[in-house]
Amino acid sequence: MKNTQNHLISFFIISFVFFTNSVSAVSWFGGDEEIIWEGAANNYFKLAEQEDSKFGKNDHPISIDEEEIIDALTALEYTDTSILGSESIVSVYSYSQVRLLAEYISKGLSEAKATQDIIFAIGGSSRKLLVLTKKSYTTGRVFYKAGKLNIIIGEYDLVRSEAMEKELDPSGRGEVNYNFSHGYRDKKSNHFKDSIIGVTGVAQKVIKGEPRLDWIEIDIKLAAEAYVARKKERENPQLQGSQALKVEAAKLAKQRREMRAEMARLRKDVEQRNNESSSAKSIEERISTLDQLLEKELISKEEYAVKRKEILNDI
């Protein structure tokens, strides 16, 4: 009897700890999300309503090449400092994670509404440990806006709680579902604290002068080209700098095209306003002339009314 009571007490203590932790609580209630893909427990891609509408609607649906997403995501790297002080360059996402992300981001964006984001959770092995044996989860929120793929990181390398899972799922079938954070537009997450290594087409979001390390903006085409150029340089040192210069040239050319398009739009707006102003002035002058003719009794009131109606119909 005493053992049973101890077991129940242990269960309720662990349950309380995880229910009060928004990161790792067990999810008992389903949401209104549309499933894009669902694998093992806690591995999924879903379409969900934006968590904050004040940032405006997304540019969805949109079609993005899956292979370009793979190259762009592979380009995401940061410098990791170990406990012993040594530094190494680490990919933000593993190869298998990149393949999953590219496939279901591409699929999700082609189906998403302007008010929907993609939320995801995928498994991996924790990079926080000296020996990569602990299974972990990485989550996030994805949307496309203003020509950029936006990834907000929720959890990053969140190590699974085997003790909690054992208590809640003694069968060991892996049926414990975590209630993850997928990241927020208006609230930064501290689960990803590194600066992305500079690469063309990739930047961490700056809001009110403060960089959001958990929010990554990617110009997919430019980032993909930069990754391919860097890969070629690594394979052939003789090309060092030449491919990078080509990518930078492509970036500048794109910026110039965008600037020319914006200038053309502004000129068109100015011309339209001038034409509208000129048209309004012309109508005012015609009605003024008509008023003078009536005042001098050169036309009748009936003729005035007919002519005035014709002038106003030209508006």
Residues 219 and 280 in one domain: no
This prediction has a pTM of: 0.67
Residues 172 and 300 in one domain: no
* Helical residues (DSSP H) of the chain, grouped into ranges: 2-19, 66-74, 95-111, 162-168, 220-235, 242-295, 301-313
Residues 215 and 296 in one domain: no
Q: Is residue 140 part of a domain?
A: yes
pLDDT value at position 292? 81
Residues 106 and 192 in one domain: yes
Alpha-carbon gap, residue 86 to 83, rounded angstroms: 8
Residues 236 and 261 in one domain: no
Q: Is residue 249 part of a domain?
A: no
Alpha-carbon gap, residue 276 to 310, rounded angstroms: 18
Residues 150 and 270 in one domain: no
pLDDT value at position 234? 73
Q: Is residue 245 part of a domain?
A: no
Tally of domains in the chain: 2
Q: Which of 184, 213, 240 is the last residue of a domain?
A: 240
**Residue 92 structure tokens:** 């933000």
**Statement: residue 7 has pLDDT above 50:** no
pLDDT value at position 26? 36
pLDDT value at position 242? 54
**Statement: residue 307 has pLDDT above 70:** yes
Q: Which of 177, 209, 240 is the last residue of a domain?
A: 240
Q: Which of 240, 275, 299 is the last residue of a domain?
A: 240
Q: Which residue type occupies 173?
A: R
With tokens 């998403």, the residue in question is: 112
User: What residues make up the domain containing 309?
Assistant: 257-313
Alpha-carbon gap, residue 217 to 215, rounded angstroms: 7
Residues 227 and 300 in one domain: no
**Residue 20 structure tokens:** 């009060």
**Residue 85 structure tokens:** 């002080």
Q: Which helix (H) or strand (E) holds 100?
A: helix 95-111
**Statement: residue 222 has pLDDT above 90:** yes
pLDDT tens profile 47-93: 999 999 899 999 999 999 999 999 999 999 998 877 777 788 899 99
Identify any residues that bridge with 212 across adjacent strands, giving them in sequence order: none
Residue 180's pLDDT band, with cuts at 50, 70 and 90, is very high
Residues 70 and 205 in one domain: yes
pLDDT value at position 298? 78
